[in-house]
Structure 1
Amino acid sequence: MPADPRHRKRALRVELRELRRQRTARDQDAATLAITDHLRSLATGVGAKSVAAYLPSTDEPNIRPFIDWAIAAGVTVLMPVSRDDGLLDWAVTDGLHEQEGAHGMPEPVGELLGPIAINDVDLILVPASAVDRTGMRMGWGMGYFDRTLGSMERCPPVYAVIFDNELLDSVPSEVHDKRVDGVVTPSAIVTF
């Protein structure tokens, strides 16, 4: 494997993306049910009245049923909206209205609240390509969540949502990469 962390990340992302594409619909459905149960338990356990989450792409663990549950339970759910300057704006989602945003990712339709809106949430859920057993998160290479987490004054618990095979012994990292407090997988909630 190449020595440069950027090259090692790129190679690992390709491998993990291919493994995600090979998942069967049955495996994906089972993972969705289990992840939804774990996310509900996590949100309830921290007493979350507001959550920052994201709209998953088709290959990512499906957290949409959790988002629907949270909205129905009266939890305010903020979703990121990508900006050209590399920062994230946030909008409250109603779970119904979305559009394709920058980089082809789904984003909520709604009033933009600005980058600091995330400072008031009780729980943050982030996507990841992999996380290691120390909590080091490897994203998909755009750096949006690393910049967001790195700029927060007071950060609530941050959990990445991944598949079981994406919790690794180690992941390549660079100085700007941020750790998470835990992961939610189909098998468990793991807190570091």
Structure 2
Amino acid sequence: MTGPLDTEKRALRAELRERRQQRSAAALEDAATGVHAQLDALVATHGVRSMSCFLSTPTEPGTREFIAAAVARGIRVLLPVTRADGLLDWAVAEEEGDTAEGLFGLPEPVGELLSPVAVNDVDLLVIPAAAVDRTGMRLGWGRGYFDKTIGSMEKCPPVYAVIFDSELVDSVPREVHDQPVSGVVTPTRTVLLPTR
């Protein structure tokens, strides 16, 4: 059953997906370099020793270089693995870790799986998003995995969504189950938002 809010979300996601697909390889490479620098600074600011992140797709602001560098520096990085029940398992990132196509065709790590509660011990959550508004509301890609994860955590650490600069917007459609984020990381800046 779809309502007007669901239709609005779908339309906005389609528009954002189209914009991402139009970015050049050079622009995406620059974005990955910028995100790497911003995440390095964020990790240093928070004194992070353990965190979650995600394996970026080819059209997302790149996280893979950051993950490899963080692992090389001794930071424990958990990567999400989708499950059919709507929850996320986690795998510890490795410098030369293998990946495979996950449940929805997205890249996921291959290796020993940790349960959904493994993420409860991290100092920082870094998650994907389609857009985030200035109040901290995040528009995801419609499957609810990260909303469920954030909503179920007893003590949620800071949560930052990785987006392009143009995807920090004035407002996004919001439903009851949607979870806010602490801030955003873009290729040019890290912005703390007022919600958490």
Q: Which TM class, normalised by the smaller chain length? A: over 0.9
Partner in structure 2 of residue 58 of structure 1: 58
The letter for the 2-side match of 1:56 is: S
1:73 aligns with 2:73: yes
| Counterparts of 1:104 and 1:23, CA distance in 2 | 21
Q: How far is 1:70 from its partner?
A: 0.4
Count of matched residue positions in the alignment of Structure 1 and Structure 2? 190
1:125 aligns with 2:142: no
Q: How far is 1:145 from its partner?
A: 0.4
Where in structure 2 are the equivalents of 1:17-28 lying within 5 Å?
17-28=17-28
Cα deviations by residue, 1:103-127 (Å, 9 ceiling, x for unpaired): 0011111111100000000110000
- RMSD, aligned CA: 0.9
Q: How far is 1:169 from its partner?
A: 0.3
The letter for the 2-side match of 1:80 is: P
Q: Which runs of 5+ in 1 are unaligned?
A: none
| Counterparts of 2:160 and 2:61, CA distance in 1 | 13
Cα deviations by residue, 1:153-181 (Å, 9 ceiling, x for unpaired): 00110000000110000000100000000
Partner in structure 1 of residue 170 of structure 2: 169
Q: How far is 1:187 from its partner?
A: 1.7
1:98 aligns with 2:99: yes
1:149 aligns with 2:150: yes
The letter for the 2-side match of 1:61 is: P
- The percent of aligned pairs where both chains have the same amino acid is 56
Contact 1:122 1:157 survives alignment (8 Å):
yes
The letter for the 2-side match of 1:17 is: R
SS in 2 for 1:80: strand
Q: Segments of 4+ in structure 1 off by > 2 A?
A: none
Q: How far is 1:53 from its partner?
A: 0.7
Q: How far is 1:150 from its partner?
A: 0.5
Cα deviations by residue, 1:112-143 (Å, 9 ceiling, x for unpaired): 11000000001100000000000000000010
| Counterparts of 1:56 and 1:15, CA distance in 2 | 19
Q: How far is 1:77 from its partner?
A: 0.6
Partner in structure 1 of residue 34 of structure 2: 34
